[in-house]
Amino acid sequence: MRVRCAALAAAASAILLQPSAKAAAVLPDCSDVVQGKPVSSGPVTARDLVTLADLGPDAPDPGEGHIFSISPDGRWIALQVQKADPDANGFCQALVVLPADGSGPVRILDRGGELILSRSDMLGRAGVATGLVRTIEPVWSPDGRRLAYLKQTHGAIQVWVAEADGSRSRAATSGAVEVDRFAFDADGRTLVVALRPNLTAEREAIKREERSGFRFDARISPGAGAVPFPRPSNRHAYFTVGEDRRMIPATPGQIARLGSNEAIQSLLSQHGSRIALAPTSGSPLQPIVRLQVQDDKGRIWPCADIACTGPGLVAWWMPGGRHVRFLRREDPAKSVTAVYAWRPGARHARRLMATTALLTDCQPHGNELYCLEERSLDPRRLVHFDPSNQRKSVLFDPNASFAALRKSRVKRLFARNSFGIETFGDLVYPLGYRVGKTYPLIVVQYTSRGFLRGGTGDEFPIQAFAARDYFVLSLQRPDALALTSNARTSEEAETQLLNGFRDRRSVLSSVENLLRPLIVQGLVDPARIGITGLSDGSSTVQFAAVNSTLFAAGSASGCCWERSQDFLLSEGIADHFARSGWPRLLDKRKDFWKRISLAQNARDIRFPLLLQMADTEYLGALESFTALREAGHPVDLYVFRDEHHIKWQPAHKLAVYERNLAWFDFWLKDVAPPGGTERETWIRMKRDWQSKPRSAARTELPSSPINPHGTDAHPSRPLL
């Protein structure tokens, strides 16, 4: 699952989030956090997926630093491991260190602490949490003898320091302060810390306001409650902290150490030459850049090779400062990641290696490259590449025992949608697949790079579906910015994407065009196709419910787009939507809402819908839910307490997984849950719905060009 919950659906949901999350239980015994316990050779279950060990967040925020860090001498690598326990509804966490050459065992330097969720200031509110896990970067002291890192206990985030030899770990800061950023000072022992702005005064003002009533304004998000959010402040406080924990105001020079200069250093050679990634074309929001070098005399050396041009290039100097290496994504559909080498002044760049695996947080050291790697069937692990000879070694895999489980084969498919945008999807076969048999299929959205776990937001257990005899199509969302023309701001882009529901039509077209050949080939039963999604994926589920006849059941989280969003999502988000082209509540615009609203189309929705929502978001689904229920349409809604846009509590994650499995078994296979209220409720839903006349004739899907090979990449390209 990869989420920095993008697009319009995330913007809608973010406003409903509470400022913080309660910490789940901390487990006393974390003996298997580094190396999982042996497992059977059976099929993958929902529990197997929930209890995988994680190396960093699913969708890392580059602004929060690296997931792993290399010691100054290049001999050691440090990172944090997290492992969920749904029975205790808690997490085991460990800070570990291992030899960079893979020559020795992994050592645990520190255990424990509460899960730290990422928080940000948005739309006039301070400390908004989305349920995404924060990146915890261990920072080495200049001499490599100790590591500093963030750790949360009793709800407070502090800096801790662990000795690299494992002899001890301790809290370096204390009290009511909450550390946002930190760095070692030049002496390697003193820490420079940036404390989050103190919002105590504003919270006290809100408390006083309670006596006379809160004025309803942009500070209040109804879904999150009636209490106003504090306003954001960027007034950090800066201090130095020694081993005695005394906090002394930092000097300007010490504060400057908090500014990350790592990226600048990687672009500056020892001879004074600089790497530049100069925009050449593309939109302002997604520029196409060209690699070039400026030497110490100011001369520009552009790279003329087409490989040196593209979006999102990442470049660094090789030792000696004479050669540059860079990462780029390549076709088909940007599904391949390649490493190139280029000597300034040379006409061509040389491709050293390429892979369809997802590489995250790649860090060069000397001639080598360290990355976190995921493959369709392999969870994230730390790997070492020598691109010059295409050798790879796995340095740390906390889920090595996962390999013993029986997993389904995966085949990559490519297609162009009705807008001409190429995308791809991964087709996961039923575990017991038999040639000639037709199977039900479930669509999971909306990223398919890396490990196929549960889609964006991690709610739809792909391998567990396959073990239940489903095909699963994991969709890589088509590029939305390909539909915009020179939008200068995200708001302009949203306006263009909303016009005629271009973006929603683009995504739905990609799904249908990937499915069509599977139906034609007799692999998939067209009467038994389900669709799922969270956030932007939920928007696709909703749009499909109104505009497609292909699907027989759906499950969504983070739903729904309705007229009521104007007053449920607060004044600020309503204004944002209006500027992007959404109708105001007074506008009514039946023609607009007829294209997407579940409530306005409740009598004509074509498939049963399961909604599993955070308590901070479920109000946004009530207009849709109520209208569908009044229309006698099968719909079920579950609300999860103390959750956010992304559900983070292990017990909730397992419950969501298992209910999704049961929902599709019931509607696509006619297999009822074994007991409980779900069995009675769903059987009654189905009986009542089937007794009502409805029109749901299926239409022929539009044709589209499909890659006939269905391979993991272009056959002429050697891949690791």
Residues carrying an active site annotation: 535, 617, 645
Q: How many CB atoms lie within 10 A of CB 586?
A: 8
What is the Cα–Cα distance from 156 to 171, expressed in whole angstroms?
A: 11
What is the Cα–Cα distance from 612 to 653, expressed in whole angstroms?
A: 11
What is the Cα–Cα distance from 144 to 184, expressed in whole angstroms?
A: 11
Smallest Cα–Cα separation from 221: which of 14, 64, 475? 14
Smallest Cα–Cα separation from 697: which of 527, 521, 534? 527
Smallest Cα–Cα separation from 402: which of 48, 87, 34? 48
CA dihedral angle for residue 323, residue 329, residue 335, residue 337, rounded to 10 degrees: 20
Instruction: Please report which helix (H) or strand (E) contains residue 651, including its range.
Output: helix 650-669
Does residue 362 have a cis bond before it (omega within 30 degrees)?
Answer: no
- Write out the two tokens for 425: 């999807």
Question: What letter represents residue 191's amino acid?
Answer: L
What is the Cα–Cα distance from 660 to 556, expressed in whole angstroms?
A: 10
What is the Cα–Cα distance from 30 to 96, expressed in whole angstroms?
A: 13
Q: Taking the mean position of all CA atoms in its chain, how far away is CA 535? A: 11
Exposure b/e, 673-683, CB count within 10 A at least 16 = b: beeeebeeebe
DSSP state of 330: E
- Write out the two tokens for 474: 């994991």
Q: How many CB atoms lie within 10 A of CB 545?
A: 26
454 — alpha (psi -120 to 50), left (phi > 0) or beta?
A: alpha
Number of DSSP helices (H) and strands (E) in the chain, helices first = 15, 36
Smallest Cα–Cα separation from 162: which of 174, 151, 152, 175? 151
- Write out the two tokens for 224: 């999150």
Q: Which residues contact 520 (CB under 8 A, 6 or more apart)?
A: none
- Write out the two tokens for 400: 């090595």
Q: Which residues contact 54 (CB under 8 A, 6 or more apart)?
A: 81, 82, 83, 84, 133, 380
Q: Evaluate whether 51 touches 142 at the Cβ level (below 8 Å).
A: no
- Write out the two tokens for 162: 């662990």
Instruction: Please report which helix (H) or strand (E) contains residue 125, including its range.
Output: strand 125-133
3-state secondary structure of 257: coil
Smallest Cα–Cα separation from 515: which of 678, 339, 706? 706
Q: How many CB atoms lie within 10 A of CB 406?
A: 14
Q: Evaluate whether 44 touches 405 at the Cβ level (below 8 Å).
A: yes
What is the Cα–Cα distance from 25 to 89, expressed in whole angstroms?
A: 6
Beta bridge pairs of residue 317: 324
148, 645, 648 from 89: Cα distances, Å: 27, 18, 10
3-state secondary structure of 703: coil
3-state secondary structure of 706: strand
Smallest Cα–Cα separation from 494: which of 573, 571, 579, 423? 579
Instruction: Using CB atoms within 10 Å of the CB of residue 687, give its burial: 0 to 12 exposed, 13 to 18 middle, 19+ buried.
Output: exposed
